[in-house]
Chains A and B, each alone.
Chain A
Amino acid sequence: MTREAAEKSVSDGSNTKRTAGTPTSRPGGESGGGTTPPVLEAVEVTKIYRMGPTEIRALDSLSLSIYKGELLTVMGPSGSGKTTLLNVLGCLDVPDSGKVLLDGEDVTRLPEKARTRIRLRKIGFIFQQFYLIPTLTALENVMLPMLEAGLSRKRAAERGRSLLEEVGMGDRADHRPSQMSGGEQQRTAIARALANNPEIILADEPTGELDTTNAGMVIDLLRRLTAEEGITVVVVTHDPRVAEKGTRTINMVDGRVV
């Protein structure tokens, strides 16, 4: 894609403001006549890890539909396959069988390059340990995916600043990660996840290393994104207080939804 096209697609995204569809609070899209297709759908997804003779079914014929504007929280004991599910949904990992449909398109058969591009443009990742680049400032960290998408430095900086503003980090744009608290780092990471106007944000225990206040701020921020911008968010969490802020919660055990 050319730089102009890239810039255009990003700005197009921000212009529509994702207000088109009202956030669905109930799965299935059964409200009001027509059915909205899911943004993201896992169909009979199985992921097996082999460690010598033993086989671990990290995902076991799991099916799941996620709708636009949802804040889906995923709970379950450690080792139940939550991270694997996020990775498979986020084009980071391919299942051994089954399909993952993103906007109706099966992404499991796409080549790695195409999946990288999807991760860059359609998906925002947030990790438990923030994972900011320590040598870059908050703003530069947020700019990184935009520059990769072909935005000019100037536009990336402008948008980066407004995103930091949005997550309440406007005054810390020039700070390095080491100069920020955990909550601030995670909010920066959220700004980075929003950089290319993703449809979906996947967060793996985003509040796992934060205190209650900061955890609350982060989950409220994610919630606001779904409500105001129609972004679909999937949050893996152990914290029931986080889970109850979601529009829907699923529980996983042994690679299945229960």
Chain B
Amino acid sequence: MISLAFRNLGRRKGRTLAVLVSVIVAGSLLSSTIGIGDGLVSTVRNRVESARVDIFITGGQLHGITRGHEIAGEIEEMEGVNLSSPMLFSPTTIQVRRPGEAGMPLTPYPVGLIPSRAGVLLPGENDSTTGWFSVPDDPHYAGGSYEGPWTYEIGVTEALARDLNLSIGDPIEVMVDGEWRNFTVVMTYRPILGGQAFSGVYLVFLHLSELQTILSLDVDPSTGAPRDAVDTISVSLEEEYRMDRDLYVSLLDTIREEYPFYDVESKEEIVGEMESNMAMASAFALAVGSVGFVIGALFVSTAMLMAVDERRGEIAMMRAIGISGKTIFSIFFLEALMIIMMGTLLGFGVGHLFYGFMADYIMRSAGIVITGYMGGTGMMIKYTAAALAFGLLSSFYPAAKASRTPAAATLREDVL
């Protein structure tokens, strides 16, 4: 029976191929969106959890926290706080190039940090860094005057190092105030995707105050007063405070009282919130993928209905010679299921490519490096379940229709 179903697929090769392609497209859409969705959720959670951030402060908008250095310093003075790290993430790129080389400069996304503080906050990512900043503090800040010395230190992603043919210790030029300035590469960084280097992503890491100056976030241009804008302040607590719920909560409350205009969140809140955001994003992605799959399923059922119609005479003959409705059902069901199985399998492979593109896009646009959840157990279960559900739905009706073909009347029609 399996070979019968298989050979029947060969009858209309063009149509079988078209259906197969549609299932592949649908399957790849679905698998990649499930993969991305799951990847987002777990990546964000892992990131927050593995980083030793216990309290997270944000300003509610881009570069929404002012007095970043000062506030971080104030918080670090509080009882129970181990480290407090201001960071700046820019959605606008800066320009870099090999020294003296004219032509198109590269445009990486910059991240500003204070090296002595960022290290503990990003432990999960230390595995993928080589080298580190030699000046741990942020001297250019100089108490808010932004007149301290520049370190001219920069960390770059491996993709950028490769494309500019740079290694640690090499000079690199960065555009500051319309002029090319000489920096030194002190670190390379490899974003990871599914265990593979995430090629093609350009990120650079700079001392916070130097980046603030490059992006004109250091002082207010009109008044000349310090602005010191950052995006986040991550706080890590001493062991005692982290473990004791009451101490933790009271510290959280103190910070909230002290900085009422900012969002102060505990680790659990961040994880919860990010997860619900990401869950929504992944649900949306899944919905998009599912629409693709439903269309694929409609393709399959339409093609199968056509096949049932074309082979009515044959079906009626089989019914006449005593082949049961059940057998007829299985023949057509199997035929559809075979296409769906092949398509979803291949779709999974193609989905891997889509996943790569999407992950790359998310990396570039949102700065989130999704680590490989394509092919994770949860993802596989969801994909298989979805593929089976749609497969069964799309093959059931045509197969049932075939099994209900009235033998005598159909044979008669066929003769006429």
Q: Which residue of B lies closest to A128 (CB)?
A: B415
Known A-B contacts A87-B408, A92-B407, A127-B411; the reply to A135 vs B321 at CB < 8 A is no
Docked CA distance A196–B323 (Å): 12
CB neighbours (8 Å) of A90 from chain B are 320
Interface residues in B387-411 by Cβ distance below 8 A to A read 407-408, 411
**CB proximity of B12 to chain A, nearest CB, Å:** 11
* Shortest Cβ gap from B406 to chain A (Å): 9
Q: For A145, what are the chain B residues with a Cβ–Cβ distance below 8 Å?
A: 321-323
Instruction: Give, as a whole number of angstroms, the nearest-CB distance from A203 to chain B.
Output: 12
Interface presence of A123 (CB below 8 A): yes
| Bound form: Cα–Cα A119–B412 in Å | 18
Instruction: Return the contact of A131 from the options B4, B11, B313, B322 (Cβ within 8 A).
Output: B313
B50 CB–A CB distance under 8 Å: no
Using CB atoms, name the residue of chain B closest to A86. Answer: B408
With A121-B322, A128-B415 already in contact, the answer to whether A135 and B407 are too (CB < 8 A) is no
B317 pairs with A148, CB closer than 8 A: no
Q: Is the CB of A120 within 8 A of B322?
A: yes
In the complex, the chain A residue whose C-beta lies closest to that of B414 is A129
Interface status of A183 (Cβ within 8 A of chain B): no
If over half of B's interface residues share one DSSP class (helix, strand or loop), that class is named, otherwise mixed; here it is helix
Which residue from chain A places its CB closest to the CB of B325 in the assembled complex? A116
Q: Bound state CA distance, A206 and B4, in angstroms?
A: 26
Chain A residue nearest in CB terms to B314: A133
Which listed residue, B313, B320, B323, B412, touches A144 by the CB 8 Å rule? B323
Give Cα A135 to B320, complex, Å: 19
* Residues of A contacting B327 in the complex (Cβ-Cβ under 8 angstroms): 148
Q: How far is the CB of A234 from chain B (nearest CB, A)?
A: 15
A238 to chain B, nearest CB (A): 14
Mark contacts of A80-105 with chain B using CB atoms, 8 A cut-off: 1 yes-contact digit, 0 otherwise: 00010001001011000000000000
The distance in angstroms between the C-alpha atoms of A145 and B323, with both chains bound, is 7
Shortest distance in angstroms between B233's beta carbon and chain A's nearest beta carbon? 70
User: B297-340 toward A: CB 8 Å interface, digit per residue (1/0)?
Assistant: 00000000000000001100111111111010000000000000
List CB contacts (< 8 Å) of A126-180 with chain B. Answer: 127-129, 131, 133-136, 140, 144-145, 147-148
Q: Please count how many residues in chain B sit with their CB below 8 Å of the partner chain's CB atoms.
A: 24
Q: Quick one: which of A93, A124, A136 contacts B321, CB cutoff 8 A?
A: A124
In this complex, what residue of B is CB-closest to A90? B320
- In the docked arrangement, what's the CA distance between A147 and B415, Å? 28
Q: In the assembled complex, which residues on chain B have CB atoms less than 8 Å from the CB atom of A135? A: 4, 7-8, 10-11
A116 touches B314 (CB 8 A): no
A93/B8 contact (C-beta < 8 A), A120-B322, A148-B327 known: no
Q: Once the chains are docked, how many angstroms separate the CA of A118 from the CA of B321? A: 9
Does A125 sit at the interface, judged by CB under 8 A? yes
Chain A residues with CB under 8 A of B407? 92
Complex alpha-carbon distance, A119 and B407, angstroms: 12
Out of A87, A116, A127, A128, name the residue touching B324 (CB < 8 Å). Answer: A116
Q: How far is the CA of A126 from the CA of B222 in the complex (A)?
A: 99
Tell me whether A193 is interfacial, beta carbon within 8 Å.
yes
In the complex, are the beta carbons of A93 and B7 less than 8 A apart? no
Measured in the bound complex, the distance between the Cα atoms of B289 and A120 in whole Å is: 46
Q: Which residue of B lies closest to A117 (CB)?
A: B322
Question: When chains A and B are docked, how far (Å) is the Cα of A133 from the Cα of B319?
Answer: 13
Task: Please give, as numbers and ranges, the residues of chain A lying within 8 Å of B412 by CB-CB distance.
Answer: 83
A87→B319 CA distance, assembly (Å): 12
Which residue on A lies nearest to B323, using beta carbons? A148
Taken together as a complex, chains A and B put the C-alpha atoms of A194 and B92 apart, in Å, by 81
CA distance A193 to B414 in the complex (A): 20
Chain A residue at minimum C-beta to C-beta distance from B409: A93
Contacts of A120 in B (CB 8 A): 321-324
Chain B residues with CB under 8 Å of A87's CB are 408
Q: Mark B1-28, 1 if CB is under 8 A from A, else 0.
A: 1001001101100000000000000000
Considering residues A93, A120, A148, A196, which has the most beta carbons from chain B within 10 angstroms of its beta carbon?
A148
Q: CA–CA, A233 to B108, complex, Å?
A: 87
The CA of A244 and the CA of B314, in the complex, are separated in Å by: 31
| Bound-complex Cα distance A147 to B324 (A) | 12
Cβ of B402 to closest chain A Cβ, rounded Å = 14
A50 within 8 A of B: no
Instruction: Select from chain A the residue with minimum beta-carbon distance to B322.
Output: A120
Give the CA-CA distance A113 to B324 in the complex, in Å.
8
* Docked-complex contact A116 and B322, CB < 8 angstroms: yes
Closest to A112 in B: B325
| Docked complex Cα distance between A196 and B411 (Å) | 22
Given contacts A128-B415, A129-B415, A136-B4, could you give 19 more A-B pairs where the C-beta distance is less than 8 Å? A92-B320, A116-B324, A118-B322, A119-B320, A119-B321, A119-B322, A121-B322, A123-B322, A125-B321, A135-B7, A136-B7, A140-B4, A144-B318, A144-B323, A147-B1, A148-B323, A148-B324, A192-B321, A193-B321
- A-B CB proximity, top 3 nearest: A120-B322, A119-B322, A131-B317
Ordered by A's residue number, 11 sampled pairs between the chains whose C-beta atoms are within 8 Å are A83-B412, A92-B408, A124-B321, A133-B318, A135-B7, A135-B10, A136-B7, A140-B4, A144-B323, A148-B327, A193-B321
